[in-house]
């Protein structure tokens, strides 16, 4: 039987990314796959480009009635609906770290007999992710931090208003450089997790703008904290995923320091509701519509940005990069209980036993 991938439209506001581009869809079709792509007004890549390489088309949201053998592929979470999930779904589920609603989401799979292959759990034999948006998350996250810092310097309240996406990375860099020319000085930045995918993206953004950047990773945090150095940077970009071994980087006690220079925190990893949140001074995500949380402190102010789909600021580049990585795994989807897919399935089954 032909392996059928159904590329669904995203329902999350401002989510313009896609997991597979037309170029890689053509590669899958050439290998015998069937690809159906839903129409979408917000996807960065038009449906016509998929149809041009041989993809079938479908109306937005029609995955709900797609044939049961289809793999329903997306990027972000499914709509929060009270319907059973019977298909094999592939997307970032955000349900394996006890996030709010995890029990209900997995309950929908139990009721419908479906399966979640969480994109975050697609790992090789060495437990390394085979595909990630991390680079562009770090790049875009650092960019929002610079935007917020420039807004603070202008006296804007909030420091960063509604965000949108950029057609390409060159236009983003141009906009940031223009904003920085209106500031009296350039900010300095510290990147936590600088050796990882997201960290490299954040560091490269800083380099593009000529900013001084301190690169921290496991060696610099081995002491377990506290880390007063973080307070002496204008911008702090966290790119380390929260887990039980992660130290707390910034606490309420830290930000009360009268010598604090820090005025913008960007939590690229963005897991504020996790028990392992390394920045326990905020407890909710921000959005493209309301990008910052302004803490009730001054001299200097302190704004937090925690958007969980930052690469959507650069949907074209981030989609192209991710699709190029993911297609290697998708080419093996005809054996969904083995290799990369088998490991993701094991994770799903393990968490299903918790409900």
Q: Among candidates 280, 210, 208, which has minimal Cα distance to 238?
A: 280
Between helices 315-330 and 134-154, what is the axis angle to 10°? 160
Domains of the chain, residue spans: 4-121+319-352, 134-313
Give yes or no: 309 in active site.
no
Q: Among candidates 275, 271, 232, which has minimal Cα distance to 255?
A: 232
What does the pLDDT read at residue 323?
A: 98
What pTM does this model have? 0.91
CATH 3.30.70.20 corresponds to the domain 134-313: no
What does the pLDDT read at residue 100?
A: 83
What does the pLDDT read at residue 242?
A: 79
Q: Among the options 76, 97, 215, 324, which is catalytic?
A: 76
Question: Edge-to-edge strand order for the sheet containing 303-305?
Answer: 213-216, 189-192, 235-238, 264-267, 303-305, 292-294
Q: Are the folds of 4-121+319-352 and 134-313 the same?
A: yes
The CA distances from residue 159 to 51, 206, 268, 295, 298, in Å, are 42, 19, 18, 12, 13
Give yes or no: 94 in active site.
yes
State pLDDT tens for residues 284-329: 999 999 999 999 998 899 999 999 999 999 999 999 999 999 999 9
CA–CA separation, 172 and 75 (whole Å): 23
What does the pLDDT read at residue 122?
A: 98
Work out the angle at residue 286's Cα, subtended by the Cα atoms of residues 283 and 292, and round it to the nearest 5 degrees.
Answer: 100
pLDDT-flagged residues of the chain (< 70): none
Q: Among the options 94, 233, 309, 351, which is catalytic?
A: 94
CATH 3.40.50.9100 corresponds to the domain 4-121+319-352: no
Work out the angle at residue 65's Cα, subtended by the Cα atoms of residues 319 and 103, and round it to the nearest 5 degrees.
Answer: 70
């Amino acid at each position: 039987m032909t392996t059928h991938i159904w590329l669904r439209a995203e329902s999350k506001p401002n989510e313009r990314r896609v997991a597979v581009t037309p170029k890689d869809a053509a590669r899958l079709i050439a290998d015998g796959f069937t690809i159906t792509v839903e129409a979408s007004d917000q996807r960065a890549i038009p449906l016509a480009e998929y149809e041009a390489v041989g993809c079938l088309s479908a109306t937005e949201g029609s995955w709900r009635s797609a044939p049961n053998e289809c793999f329903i592929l997306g990027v972000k979470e499914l709509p929060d609906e009270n319907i059973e999930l019977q298909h094999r779904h592939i997307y970032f589920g955000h349900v394996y770290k006890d996030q709010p609603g995890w029990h209900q989401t997995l309950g929908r799979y139990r009721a419908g007999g479906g399966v979640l292959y969480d994109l975050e759990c697609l790992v090789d034999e060495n437990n390394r992710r085979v595909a990630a948006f991390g680079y562009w998350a770090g790049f875009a996250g650092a960019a929002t931090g610079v935007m917020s810092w420039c807004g603070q310097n202008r006296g804007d309240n909030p420091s960063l208003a509604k965000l949108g996406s950029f057609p390409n990375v060159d236009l983003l860099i141009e906009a940031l450089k223009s904003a920085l020319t209106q500031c009296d000085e350039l900010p300095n930045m510290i990147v936590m997790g600088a050796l990882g995918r997201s960290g490299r993206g954040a560091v490269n953004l800083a380099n593009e703008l000529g900013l001084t950047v301190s690169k921290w990773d496991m060696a610099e945090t081995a002491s377990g904290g506290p880390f007063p150095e973080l307070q002496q940077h204008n911008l702090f970009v966290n790119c380390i995923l929260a887990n039980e071994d992660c130290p707390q980087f910034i606490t309420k006690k830290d930000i009360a320091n009268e010598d604090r220079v820090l005025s913008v925190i960007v939590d690229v990893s963005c897991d504020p509701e996790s028990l392992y949140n390394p920045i326990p001074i905020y407890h909710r995500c921000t959005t493209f519509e309301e990008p910052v949380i302004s803490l009730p402190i001054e001299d200097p102010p302190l704004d937090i940005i925690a958007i969980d789909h930052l690469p959507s600021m650069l949907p074209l580049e981030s989609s192209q990069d991710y699709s190029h990585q993911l297609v290697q795994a998708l080419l093996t989807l005809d054996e969904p209980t083995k290799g990369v897919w088998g490991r993701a399935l094991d994770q799903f089954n393990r968490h299903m036993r918790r409900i």
